[in-house]
Amino acid sequence: MAKNRLCMVGAGRVGRLHTRSIIERVGAHAEVVAICDPNQQTATELAADYGIELVCSSLEEALERQTYDGVVITTPTFTHRALALTALEAGLHVHLEKPMAMNLLECEEISAAAKLAGVALQLGFMRRFDRDFIGAAELLRSGEVGAPMIIKSLTHGPGLPPPWANDIRTSNGMIAEVNSHDLDTVSWFADSEPVDIHARVANFKGPDRGVFTQNFYDTLLATVTFESGAIASIAGVCPADYGYDSRVEVTCTKGMVEVGQTGPGGLASIVAGASQRGEAVFRSWRDRFAEAYVSEMVEFVAAIDGAPVRVGAVEGTRAVALVLAGTLSILENRTVRLTEVAAPSFVPSWQAAGKPGA
């Protein structure tokens, strides 16, 4: 059986991670045959490290020069729509990193294109591929611990995101770039549709780190209510200098489910990377979810061959809706219902301000 031919779009940290996973762990079934990135130095370095011959500055160029079965898109959020549509219209299967897109119109266009092409569209919510998170979801579905009542989810990142991600006009801010994972997780664990969200933010470290972008924040706390009656809280900090932190606690009618620790052995307290017990803390998302990222590529290749997609357009669109409602809540300091941002008349005003020429 011939190997699936993949094009890696984006040669940054996630692109490098997925390239390594495919070559080292899925090599019997797939191969990366092209690297695309407008930064030719970054693309050339990645290609050289893994013996990939074709380096292109754009997906269009790559499509002109070779044929593929699928693409893996790891570029900034504001590029997702155009790249995904180009790949889907070419009939290629797509793995698209989160967030799915900038707004619901873009999500709708991507979803429609995938359906029309009849191909797999997988979203990069790596928690969905993590053994412990999957186990928690299965336990919650079993009814053994009862129905979820309160879900507390957090993601704290160790460093500042790239400049484009600091600007809500080009990224929707930290609620999208960091806490999309939490928004997806609380919906997944609640097994219910979100009704509304209220988010509050603060900026503790921006000025000291040289970030003066309008509406930048490094600290977020949001609450989400669900149709089931469950209530979720989401906490985000970026940068959190002590390391990478991703944890969830679900209190149910018959018990409690907890996922994640601050390090392989857990920590009692943390100050600037050290703990009272001296145990290691996860330094990066690459460490915490190492096997989950491999599983993403394993399942994407399987989806190309006809297997079902674990997480796709429905989940990606839901998370973007929560991002938009959360951002509107931040800007207007109020609780925002999801129906407000789902209305056809809703246009994210902060994104319009960020368009070229605006």
| DSSP H helices in the chain | 13-25, 40-50, 59-65, 80-89, 104-117, 131-142, 168-171, 174-177, 180-190, 285-288, 290-304, 313-332, 338-342, 349-352
pLDDT (0 to 100) of residue 202: 98
The string of DSSP codes covering 249-272 is EEEESS-EEEE--SSSS--S-EET
- Rounded to whole angstroms, the Cα distance separating 31 from 46 reads 14
Q: Write out pLDDT tens, residues 23-65.
A: 999 999 999 999 999 999 999 999 999 999 999 999 999 999 9
Model pLDDT for residues 110-119, shown as the tens digit of each residue: 999 999 999 9
Lowest model confidence (mean pLDDT) among 177-186, 227-236, 348-357? 348-357
pLDDT at 356 over 70: no
What pairs with residue 55 in β-bridges? Answer: 35
**CA-to-CA separations, 195 to 198, 201, 230, 321, in angstroms, rounded:** 11, 20, 10, 11
Q: pLDDT band at residue 266, thresholds of 50, 70 and 90?
A: very low
Checking DSSP bridges between strand 270-271 and strand 274-275, what pairing results, if any? Answer: antiparallel
More confident residue, 193 or 353: 193
Q: Give, as one character, the DSSP assignment of residue 76.
A: -
Cα atoms found within 13 Å of the Cα of residue 305, Cβ hemisphere only: 13
Assigned token pair, 152? 């507390």
Q: What is the pLDDT of residue 275?
A: 44
The three-state secondary structure class of 97 is: strand
Given a contact cutoff of 8 angstroms between Cβ atoms, the answer to whether 184 and 128 are in contact is yes
- Alpha-carbon distance 108 to 45, whole Å? 35
- Cα separation, 341 vs 79, whole angstroms: 21
pLDDT one-digit tens code per residue, 120-144? 999 999 999 999 999 999 999 999 9
HEC sequence for 165-179: HHCHHHHCCHHHHCC
Provide the percentage of residues in the chain whose pLDDT is more than 90: 88
- Give the count of alpha carbons within 13 A of 79, CB side only: 16
* Digit-coded pLDDT (tens) for 293-314: 999 999 999 999 999 999 999 9
Spacing of C-alpha 226 from chain mean position: 21
- How far, CA to CA in Å, does 231 sit from each of 35, 143, 167, 223? 43, 18, 29, 7
Structure tokens at 38: 């407008």
- Residues 54-93 have pLDDT tens digits of 999 999 999 999 999 999 999 999 999 999 999 999 999 9
Give the number of residues written for the chain. 358
Residues 6+ apart with CB under 8 A from 50: 19, 20, 23, 32
3-state secondary structure of 30: strand
Dist CA 354 CA 357 (whole Å): 8
Closest CA to 298 of 24, 7, 1, 61: 24
Distance CA 26, CA 297 (A): 7
